[in-house]
Amino acid sequence: MAASPSHKFGQELGNLLEDLVLNKILLPRLLEFTKSKNYYLDWQKDRKARKGKKVTWDDKYGNTHDLDFVIEANGTEDLIGRPLAFIEAAWRRYTKHSKNKAQEIQGAILPIRELYELSAPFIGVILAGEFTEPSLRQLENNRFAVLYIPYDDVIKAFESININISFDEQTKDTDYVSAIQQLSELSTKKKMELLDSFIKISFDGIEAFMNKLKAALERYVTSVVILPLFGNRHEFPSVEEAIKKLENLDINHPIGTFAKFEIIVDYNNNDVIRASFSEKESLMNFLKTVQH
């Protein structure tokens, strides 16, 4: 069955926004930054280290997810590096779809981040269209850096080239058909004017997003706490018996064998890594990576 004019218009508009905001505005900024730090930026392109154009990563449960951008340490065209940042983008026209999309993004990126929790990678999202305040807050509460371009700003950008996209669910199909034709017939000159409008409209948001990314990838260690833990393992069939044992435990004269290392690494940007290691060599290998 053929897509409705409103659905097709949403797709065409989304594709155009992706090309302008992601490929023409954000991608050059990300490339400039990653090259200055000798990091590798992966996006939807051909790369010898993987199959096809998609940037696909596994999460802690073995599921795979396609992402828009991934920044890697020690990555090359031939070798997948250690992930430092995961960035996803989304366009939604109506708020009734925004909560589901926010949850979908979280469901994809958070389990990937958990798999690489010892690197505490940056996670970011670029959103355009109609997203509710609770949806944005939900992402921010999960430590996403959010770049948001509201639909009203998208409308203003298109108004600068005399195209009206201020549509809603009551808009006639004929209006959608007309808008689709206008989008398909955009000249190179008009696209450049539209790009300039988006650069002006999204400038502050992109600067804030890039500053958060830089803070995460340029962070430095301010404190390393290592706790070698020694003791004997005790298991109890009830809380009461555990309390009784604690009451008689002599903490002034500890005894026991080595159990594990607990480590806490604090960074200047308030990132914190907490981990446990049962072997000294594993801990030392970890410490060699905490500065990227």
Tell me how many degrees the CA angle 60-62-66 measures, rounded to the nearest 5.
95
The percentage of residues in the chain with a pLDDT greater than 70, rounded to a whole number, is 97
Would you state the pLDDT for residue 1? 47
Q: How far, in Å, CA of 261 to CA of 239, rounded? A: 26
Would you state the pLDDT for residue 292? 57
For residue 3, pLDDT over 80 is answered with: no
CB of 12 within 8 A of CB of 184? yes
Return the amino acid letter for 236. Answer: F
Tell me the average pLDDT across 184-205.
94
Nearest CA to 231 among 202, 251, 206?
A: 251
**Over the stretch 65-103, which tens digit does the pLDDT of each residue have?**
999 999 999 999 999 999 999 999 998 877 766 778 888
Q: How confident is the model at residue 24 (pLDDT cuts 50, 70, 90)?
A: very high
> Helix, strand, coil: what percent of the chain each, to 5?
45, 25, 30
Return the amino acid letter for 121. Answer: P
Tell me the average pLDDT across 119-139.
92
Domain ranges of the chain: 5-217, 221-287
Tell me the average pLDDT across 265-283.
92
For residue 255, pLDDT over 90 is answered with: no
For residue 107, pLDDT over 70 is answered with: yes
Q: How does the average pLDDT of the chain come out, rounded?
A: 92
For residue 124, pLDDT over 70 is answered with: yes
Would you state the pLDDT for residue 289? 83
Would you state the pLDDT for residue 291? 62
For residue 285, pLDDT over 70 is answered with: yes
Classified by CATH at the fold level, domain 5-217 comes out as Trna Endonuclease; Chain: A, domain 1 (3.40.1350)
Token readout for 58 is: 């596994």
Tell me the average pLDDT across 35-47.
96
Would you state the pLDDT for residue 7? 85
Q: How far, in Å, CA of 34 to CA of 41, rounded? A: 6
